[in-house]
Structure 1
Amino acid sequence: MAVLDPVRPDLRAPVGSPPVGRPPDEVLPPVGGPGGGLPGSVRPGTRWLLRAFLSLTTLAVLALVLLPGAHHQFAWSIHMELTAAWLGAAYASGSLLSLLALRRNGWHEVRIAVVTVATFTWLTLVATLVHTHKLNLMSGTLPGRLAAWVWLAVYLVVPVACWVLVSRQDRDHVRSRVLHRPMPRSLAGLLGAQGVVLAAAGTVLFLGGLTVHHESEAVTRFWPWDLMPLSSQVIGAWLIALGLGAALVIRDRDLSRLRVPAAAYTAFGVLQLGVLVGHRADVEAGDPWLWAYVAVLAVVVGTGGFGWWAGRDPGVIRRRAG
């Protein structure tokens, strides 16, 4: 049996042989990758994980921000409403990250988002295991006890699921060396500086919170308000994850992959500035660390906003260069 050659319909070739008039190396590979999807596409399991992220982060925002007395009815008793609001804002940006990632089809478009969240969950698992005695597992209000058990279950299961799914996606995906829209060096340098600051601050908070004493201010004195050990570690986990996300963006150096992380990064900065304004009575206006913190957030908003804009509009960089 013979088939028509798509290039020269008048030529026929046996089934199974390359089309006549076309070199063998031009024969296209079969469509479809492991799991039935296109090569490099987001697996169904990864999409379920992103849906779980979206649901859990939304619940965390509701519990931390919208419920009366939320800071006393969370998985652990949070010392200050300001800390609870900070965590709620962080989870809100994580919720946006998950929502935007769900709208993408390629693994290369969502890998930074998933790896960033995976890093946060692993670090938070460590903090949870160190401070299990601080969770409201057997004490506190009914909502607090429920939140504590849900928290423990989530951070025992999700980090492992993240590791498995990221490993499978990376194994199936061949990383392209082609930069569709190269990132300007100035933007990469600015992101790198922010990543170092965020990761360094997060590391100090995370290590400082390893103590089981009542407060951790001896190590985390640079933070604009007092933090208890578990809260210090969870905030530190967020900052370390953001620092890693900046490093991954710089490694890719492709504006076409920047839209999802840049939007969430911008939202994080805007929401944290809003939290600070709303709880300005809980901080000291004369504290130089406070203004350093405000400056970092302002730069985060500006950099993230420009990154999102540049990722969305292919002509931005060309117009600025011209």
Structure 2
Amino acid sequence: MTPNGSEPAVSGERAVTVPDDRVLPLTRWVARVIIPFLAAAFLVLYGLPDRTTDLFAWTIRPEMTPIVMGAGYGAGVYFFYRVSTADEWHTVAPVFLGITTFTWFMAVATVLHWENFNHGHHTFFLWVFLYAVTPFLVPGVWALNRRWTTPAERDANAVRLPRAVRVLVGVLGAVLALSAVALFVAPGPMIASWPWTVSPLTARVLAGWFALFGVVNGVVVLDPRWSAARILVQSQLLGFALVLVGVVRVWGNFDPTNPLTWTVVGGMALYLLAIAVLYTWMEGR
């Protein structure tokens, strides 16, 4: 018997496991362990963005950067909660690749900017632990659970995203991911032109969030099922809504004479509107 009670297929003398799209118990437990770390980061960075010197692993100025980070961690809390309760692996699998990319960016940024951290603060040790472990843990869980994925072609009755939407989102994801890599390697242009002040460290951290966003959008191309994108879209709706609320909270951080201010803020607002329309439409099909 397989762990969920189904019979394995038999070929000769070897039992062949039939993929049944299960979420492994290990995957659920990893999600449950990660949630408190993300929730704590959300509360500090989003709730108290002006107190990072006292409460976080390093001092972040101005407040918009911790707000963006906090919004991302808040969306992460929702996502990993859904992982811990999901019945089908394909509904959460694509996001793991984006999170893997993000954790690699954070690990490298930590090494490159070691001197910027509050080495005596307990949150510094939590940060180092988190980004020493998760770059291996997250892809390891993905690889282990991936063998149980049911291919999309076997799900004949599934609602599918239109091809044009998948291509558009995939191209956007690829552009963002490549741009994030370029900005991480050479953050100078971002430091010089970004709508609010960023340091080399915060520029690279923001590039990590862009990379996460780009990779998860790019992966949508690989699975046409709406069920494979639903939780991703829900997480993005939450994350972008939190960021835009944050923009209103700390508008003083922005340079309104900088054209990139309106490009970035307007782009986020348009993207939030677009995915809200997409979500409503797909749920009604």
Q: TM-score scaled to structure 2, two decimals?
A: 0.86
Aligned-residue Cα RMSD (Å) equals: 2.5
Secondary structure of the 2:280 match is helix
Q: How many angstroms apart in 2 are the aligned matches of 1:201 and 1:224?
A: 17
1:107 deviation in Å? 1.0
Check whether the contact 2:193–2:260 (CA below 8 A) recurs between aligned residues.
Answer: yes
Check whether the contact 1:191–1:303 (CA below 8 A) recurs between aligned residues.
Answer: no
1:310 deviation in Å? 3.9
Q: Does 1:275 align with 2:246?
A: yes
Q: Does 1:114 align with 2:91?
A: no
2:131 is aligned with what amino acid?
A: Y
1:221 deviation in Å? 2.8
Q: Does 1:188 align with 2:170?
A: no
Secondary structure of the 1:75 match is coil
Counterpart for residue 12 of structure 2: none
Check whether the contact 1:71–1:80 (CA below 8 A) recurs between aligned residues.
Answer: no
Q: How many angstroms apart in 2 are the aligned matches of 1:69 and 1:281?
A: 13
Counterpart for residue 199 of structure 1: 177
Is the radius of gyration larger for structure 1 or structure 2? 1
| Structure with the higher helix share, 1 or 2 | 2
Q: How many angstroms apart in 2 are the aligned matches of 1:268 and 1:128?
A: 24
Q: How many angstroms apart in 2 are the aligned matches of 1:38 and 1:55?
A: 31
Q: How many angstroms apart in 2 are the aligned matches of 1:65 and 1:177?
A: 41
Check whether the contact 1:60–1:91 (CA below 8 A) recurs between aligned residues.
Answer: yes
1:37 deviation in Å? 11
User: Which of residues 271, 275, 285 is equivalent to 1:304?
Assistant: 275
Unmatched tracts of structure 1, length 5 or more: 1-28, 139-144, 210-215, 316-322
Q: Does 1:51 align with 2:29?
A: no
CA change 1:68–1:127 in 2 (3 A) is closer
User: 1:123-169 CA distances to partner (integer Å, 9 max, x unpaired)?
Assistant: 2111112222221113xxxxxx1111100011111221112211111
Pairwise mapping of residues 22-171 of structure 1 onto structure 2 (< 5 A)?
A: 30=7, 39-67=20-48, 69-73=50-54, 74-138=56-120, 145-171=121-147
Check whether the contact 1:101–1:260 (CA below 8 A) recurs between aligned residues.
Answer: no
Check whether the contact 2:27–2:141 (CA below 8 A) recurs between aligned residues.
Answer: yes
Secondary structure of the 2:277 match is helix
User: Which of residues 209, 212, 221 is equivalent to 2:192?
Assistant: 221
Q: How many angstroms apart in 1 are the aligned matches of 2:103 and 2:159?
A: 31
Q: Does 1:262 align with 2:262?
A: no
Q: How many angstroms apart in 1 are the aligned matches of 2:18 and 2:126?
A: 33
Unmatched tracts of structure 2, length 5 or more: 1-5, 10-14
1:264 deviation in Å? 0.9
Q: How many angstroms apart in 1 are the aligned matches of 2:62 and 2:145?
A: 40
User: Percent identity at matched positions?
Assistant: 25
1:43 deviation in Å? 0.8
2:83 is aligned with what amino acid?
A: A
CA change 1:67–1:279 in 2 (3 A) is closer
Q: How many angstroms apart in 1 are the aligned matches of 2:63 and 2:18?
A: 45
Q: How many angstroms apart in 1 are the aligned matches of 2:43 and 2:153?
A: 41
Q: How many angstroms apart in 2 are the aligned matches of 1:43 and 1:176?
A: 19
Higher relative contact order (Cα pairs below 8 Å, separated by 6+ residues):
2
